[in-house]
Chains A and B, each alone.
Chain A
């Protein structure tokens, strides 16, 4: 079945540590996105990518980094510069940038130790 796989489901970060969240899709979608969800704040865009080897900052990119070396993969690194990383992170994809509906992964809950 086609879909988006995020791993791990739960992740704990120590002070000063970088952590990487995985996102893989087999939908053959060109566009991929990372969102952060905090209680009462909806989904906020961190980074997005339209095609391989290209990505753009979203509304809250500070303290995060991404790469898009393969069409199927769009990992997100939460760096030590992100001072408040505790949140639920959702990866999504669409056929094209802003095209029709978004498909979502099941998310990663990141907490700080």
Chain B
């Protein structure tokens, strides 16, 4: 059975801290891995990863994929209160997207 596991489930940090969110997977016919940020309602797209070892960056956020060990990490440096959200990892298999449970991040001022 396909599965995606995210850790930790929740995390509380202070502004300025660096956080690392984890996503491991076992999915048949892996095609890509996606990261989303869900602040209020609609998840917003962050990154799509298809190849191992190539880091994607956007400002203070970065992500990398390891297809051999079947995991991805999402790093957020110099966290801000606006980073508080649920971060979702999804893996695209043969025809569908399999989501993890998400990591709830809270950044305290």
Contact = CB atoms under 8 A, between A and B. Distances in A.
Interface of A: 33, 35, 40-45, 48, 58, 88, 90, 97-98, 100-107
Interface residues of B, number: 25
Interface of B: 4, 6, 9, 31-32, 34, 36, 41-45, 48, 88, 90, 92-97, 99-102
A102 B9 CA distance: 23
B88 A98 contact: no
A77 B86 CA distance: 27
* Chain A contact residues, majority secondary structure: loop
B96 A98 contact: yes
A102 B42 contact: no
A41 B86 CA distance: 12
B41 A107 contact: yes
Nearest to A94: B97
Given A42-B88, A97-B95, A98-B31, A106 B101 contact: no
A33 B41 CA distance: 16
B99 A42 contact: yes
A105 B40 CA distance: 12
A40 B101 CA distance: 6
